[in-house]
Amino acid sequence: MKYRHTKQIALLVAVILAAVASRFSGSINPYYLQVILFIGINVTLATSLNLINGYTGQFSLGHAGFMAIGAYASAYLSTEKSAGIFQALGGANAFSIALIFALVLLGGGIAAALAGLIVGVPSLRLKGDYLAIVTLGFGEIIRVLIQNTDAVGGPRGYSGIAGYTTLFWTYAVAALTIYVVLSMVDSTYGRGFLTVRDDEVAAESVGINTTRYKVTAFVLGAFFAGVAGGLYAHTTTYINPSGFDFQLSIQIVIMVILGGMGSTAGVAFAAVLLTLLLEYLRFVAGYEWLPDLVRRIASNRMIIFSLVLIALMLLRPQGLFGALPRMAGGRKTPKSQPGPTIATP
């Protein structure tokens, strides 16, 4: 097996491309620009969730919660705590903004990673549906806590966040997330995540510390969700706790399932596709020549989402890019047929 530096080169190229594209962002229609930013943020969210749900097989429904923590933490840091750094660097210039935004995103990611650690611990004892419910509850707790924290605006939301997010930051983070997930999984160490998904008992029997892998998956997944939250907050410049409800978690899960659990390329593709679909539905809802019923369905995204998901489960249960043959009819276990030969060496 040969190892080349393809992944690092791809990461570098992606970051440079993002930087170049960022130069021209001024000439893009602001609405389109925002959609493009949302696409990048959703790619980050979906690929990071894919590490937890797809590769490690832990069904988490709490990604919106991690994102909310990252969004609020970074918004708070950049709004309240950055004045001193700006002063030290001689006011707001390109360099000081870049430095502060990097730190702020990191802060949001770390805050979310800590939350991931806290949620990772119960996940050690819970499986499947039970874990899904716990993570769902966790996400809601975060939302309610924020709603009742006056320092960040409570139910009124947090406004006046600087619009630091650019094409560069969004796509550099998306590229980094994809790089981290892919390079990790493609290693002897990273194969451990897949063994946890496949068979925990067998994984333990060959010396894999499943506990550590699960917590690592949660912490890393949450970290990138937190960074994505920071990007989101500095895109919209206004965040509201109700924006991070469990519908958002479900949306991210749908991206993962649509793309194919455990396929980073598929999940990133699905994130792009679904973000575009959601935006396009806004226009569909506004087309007056369409029948009223169609427009109403279009204006309610969840109906479309559900339909997409049902169609997918019927037609391609392993997801668009997924290669797992076992999601449809349960695990594919070979029947105990007598094998042809057991060759002795």
Partner 1 sequence: MALLLELKQCTVQFGGLTAVSKFDLQVDENDLCGLIGPNGAGKTTIFNIITGVYRPTSGSITFEGKPIAGLKPNAIAGRGIARTFQNIRLFPTLTVFDNVRAAFNLRLKHRLAHALLRIPAFYREENDVARQVRELLDIFDLNRFAHLRCGNLSYGDQRRMEIVRALATKPELLLLDEPAAGMNPREKEQLMELIKFVKKKYEIAVLLVEHDMKVVMGICERIAVLDYGIKIAEGSPHEVRANPKVIEAYLGQETPAPAL
Residue 226 contacts by C-beta under 8 Å, 6 or more apart in sequence? 66, 67, 69, 70, 71, 73, 74, 108, 109, 110, 111, 112, 113, 115
Residues 41, 256: Cα–Cα separation, whole Å: 14
199 in contact with partner 1 (CB under 8 A): yes
Question: Of 72 and 223, which has the nearer Cβ to partner 1?
Answer: 223
Distance between the two ends of the chain, CA-based, in angstroms? 24
Amino acid identity of residue 140, one-letter, is E
Contact code string over 288-327 relative to partner 1, x by CB under 8 A: ------------------------------------xxx-
Measure CA 4 to chain center: 27
Q: CB under 8 A: which stretch of 41-49, 141-149, 194-202, 270-278 binds partner 1?
A: 194-202
**Bridge partner residues of 238 (DSSP):** 159
Does 332 interact with partner 1 (rule: CB under 8 A)? yes
Single out the residue of 198, 247, 287, 306 in contact with partner 1 (rule: CB under 8 A): 198
Determine the interface stretch with partner 1 among 31-39, 208-216, 228-236, 264-272 (rule: CB under 8 A). Answer: 208-216
Q: From the list 74, 210, 235, 249, which residue makes contact with partner 1 (rule: CB under 8 A)?
A: 210
Which of 32, 95, 189, 287 is close enough to bind partner 1 by CB under 8 A?
Answer: 189
Question: Residue 87 contacts by C-beta under 8 Å, 6 or more apart in sequence?
Answer: none
340 near partner 1, rule: CB under 8 A: yes
Alpha helices in the chain (DSSP H): 6-23, 30-49, 63-80, 83-88, 94-123, 128-147, 167-185, 191-198, 200-205, 210-236, 246-259, 264-286, 292-299, 301-315
Cα dist from 241 to 29, 158, 216, 272, 304, whole Å? 28, 9, 27, 24, 24
Choices 25-33, 113-121, 196-204, 266-274; region in contact with partner 1 by CB under 8 A: 196-204
Q: Does residue 214 contact residue 123 with C-beta atoms inside 8 Å?
A: yes
Kindly report the backbone phi and psi dihedral angles of residue 65, in degrees, each rounded to the nearest multiple of 5, phi listed first. -65, -45
Point out which span in 63-71, 159-167, 188-196, 248-256 binds partner 1 (CB under 8 A).
188-196
- Which structure tokens are listed for 63? 């990604």
Q: For 253-277, b where at least 16 C-beta lie within 10 A, e where not — what string? A: bbbbbbbbbbbbebbbbbbbbbbee
CB of 225 to partner 1, least distance (A): 18
* 177, 48 contact by CB (below 8 A): yes
CB of 77 to partner 1, least distance (A): 25
> Rule CB under 8 A: which of 258-287 touch partner 1?
262
Does 202 help bind partner 1 (rule: CB under 8 A)?
A: yes
- Convert residues 144-183 into a mask of x (bound to partner 1 by CB under 8 A) and - (unbound): ------------------------------------x--x
Q: Between 30 and 49, how does the x/- string for binding to partner 1 read (CB under 8 A)? A: --------------------
Q: How many residues bind to partner 1 according to rule CB under 8 A?
A: 48
Positions in 97-136 near partner 1 (CB under 8 A): none
Task: Compute the least distance from the CB of residue 263 to partner 1, in Å.
Answer: 12
Residues lying near partner 1 in the complex (CB under 8 A): 1, 3, 5, 7-8, 180, 183-184, 187-192, 194-195, 197-199, 201-210, 216, 262, 324-326, 331-334, 336-345
